[in-house]
């Protein structure tokens, strides 16, 4: 498991303080998690990266730090995509300053920019790798064709993509490609935006500002079917003596080719509880859900 550090920015799920973020990271480390995943865009002022820097003090040699560039907030507060090498380099340098490090362990292209050249972006990442700004390069949210195009210009070791029990599209293309190329899959949203925690019932009403209202997971016939799937999983979780969340994450990291699942947290207890999913991975390898 890896700690997904988007919640530490304090943007979409309530305020977050520096001290609270450091406590979450320390708890993740205590629970056996040594991989932190963040991004230039996690916080309008880089709050996630800055808070990780505070937690890294005295712990840098114990933690794997990954960040992403290619998504950023413009002056109007709107998220934008870029593959412009000059802007990407500027964001990488700013991320390193925020994190107070000379290099990161893993640097991702966060997402492809429509109409932009992946070759140019990949060339920059190759340069950054050679310059020692990162120890390895990854990509996120790319199709198989895009993965191959990027890989042709720069060695890729990791592919970050959405993957969970309810959203398994990558099993048809991206996951087999990554296995064949020996590229690690890093799965985000293993809990399907919280749906796989089992905490939502058919009568649940999301607040107007809750971004899950826009997700197809929570609307129409898919919402009904997903709740039925969650109900089906409850006795399986009981059989393994775990929570639904632990079952969902454990299943995800048990899949061949998946190196880690990204799990976010805003409280130490949340990551300590979810981290127990790691003990289930071996038992779930042969289980089809």
Residue 248 has pLDDT above 70, yes or no: yes
Other Cβ atoms less than 10 A from the Cβ of 254: the count is 18
Residue tagged active-site, from 40, 42, 108, 163 = 42
Summarised one tens digit per residue, pLDDT across range 191-205 is 999 999 998 888 887
Residues in the chain: 289
Reported as a pLDDT band with limits 50, 70 and 90, residue 14 is low
Residue 203 has a pLDDT of: 81
Residue 33 has pLDDT above 80, yes or no: yes
Give residue limits of the domains in the chain. 2-195+248-284
Residue 112 has pLDDT above 80, yes or no: yes
**How far is CA 18 from each of CA 2, 45, 201, rounded to the nearest angstrom?**
20, 13, 33
Tell me, what DSSP letter sits at residue 12?
A: S
Residue 219 has pLDDT above 90, yes or no: no
CATH number of 2-195+248-284: 3.20.20.100
What CA–CA distance (Å, rounded) separates 108 from 89?
Answer: 12
Residue 129 has a pLDDT of: 98
Q: Are 25 and 16 in contact (CB under 8 A)?
A: no
Summarised one tens digit per residue, pLDDT across range 150-162 is 999 999 999 999 9
The pair of three-digit structure tokens given for residue 14, joined into one six-digit string: 């309530």
Residue 164 has a pLDDT of: 97
Of 61-65, 153-157, 184-188, 220-224, the range with the lowest mean pLDDT is 220-224
Give me the mean pLDDT over the 255-265 stretch. Answer: 96
pTM of the entire predicted model: 0.94
Reported as a pLDDT band with limits 50, 70 and 90, residue 212 is confident
Give me the mean pLDDT over the 128-136 stretch. Answer: 98
Summarised one tens digit per residue, pLDDT across range 52-96 is 999 999 999 999 999 999 999 999 999 999 999 999 999 999 999
**How far is CA 83 from each of CA 80, 97, 181, 283, rounded to the nearest angstrom?**
10, 21, 24, 41
Residue 42 has a pLDDT of: 97
Alpha helices (H) along the chain: 18-30, 47-56, 85-99, 118-130, 144-151, 174-181, 220-240, 244-254, 268-275, 281-284
Reported as a pLDDT band with limits 50, 70 and 90, residue 207 is confident
The pair of three-digit structure tokens given for residue 88, joined into one six-digit string: 């990407």
Of 65-74, 85-94, 181-190, 275-284, the range with the lowest mean pLDDT is 275-284
The mean pLDDT of the chain is 94
DSSP string, 233-270: HHHHHHHHTS-HHHHHHHHHHHSTTEEEEEEE-SSHHH
The CA-based angle 192-197-201, given to 5 degrees, is 95
DSSP-derived 3-state class of residue 111: coil
The pair of three-digit structure tokens given for residue 89, joined into one six-digit string: 């380099």
Of 206-210, 225-229, 249-253, the range with the lowest mean pLDDT is 206-210
Reported as a pLDDT band with limits 50, 70 and 90, residue 209 is low
Q: Are 28 and 275 in contact (CB under 8 A)?
A: yes
Q: Is 172 exposed, middle or buried (0-12, 13-18, 19+ CB in 10 A)?
A: exposed
42 is catalytic: yes
Q: Are 39 and 14 in contact (CB under 8 A)?
A: no
């Amino acid at each position: 498991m890896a700690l997904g550090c988007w919640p530490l920015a304090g943007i979409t799920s309530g305020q977050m303080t520096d001290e609270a973020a450091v406590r979450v990271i320390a708890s993740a480390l205590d629970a056996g998690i040594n991989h932190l995943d963040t991004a230039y865009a996690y916080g309008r002022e880089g709050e996630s990266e800055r808070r990780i820097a505070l937690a890294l003090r005295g712990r840098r040699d114990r933690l794997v730090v990954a960040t992403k560039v290619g998504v950023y907030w413009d002056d109007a507060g709107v998220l934008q995509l870029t593959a412009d090498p000059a802007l990407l380099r500027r964001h990488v340098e700013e991320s390193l300053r925020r994190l107070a490090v000379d290099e990161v362990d893993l640097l991702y292209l966060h997402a492809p920019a429509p109409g932009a050249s992946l070759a140019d972006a990949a060339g920059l990442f190759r340069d950054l790798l050679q310059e020692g700004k990162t120890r390895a390069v990854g990509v996120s949210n790319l199709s198989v064709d895009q993965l191959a195009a990027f890989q042709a210009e720069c060695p890729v070791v990791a592919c970050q993509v959405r993957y969970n029990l309810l959203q398994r599209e990558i099993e048809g293309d991206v996951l087999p490609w990554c296995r064949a190329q020996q590229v690690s899959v890093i799965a985000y949203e293993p809990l399907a935006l919280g749906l796989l925690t089992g905490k939502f019932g058919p009568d649940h009403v999301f607040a107007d500002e809750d971004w899950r209202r826009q997700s197809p997971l929570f609307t129409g016939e898919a919402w009904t079917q997903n709740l039925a799937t969650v109900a089906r999983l409850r006795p399986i979780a009981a059989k393994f003596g775990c929570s639904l969340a632990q079952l969902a994450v454990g299943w995800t990291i048990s899949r061949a080719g998946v190196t880690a699942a990204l799990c976010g947290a805003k409280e130490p207890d949340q990551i300590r509880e979810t981290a127990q999913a790691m003990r289930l991975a071996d038992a779930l390898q042969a289980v089809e859900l």
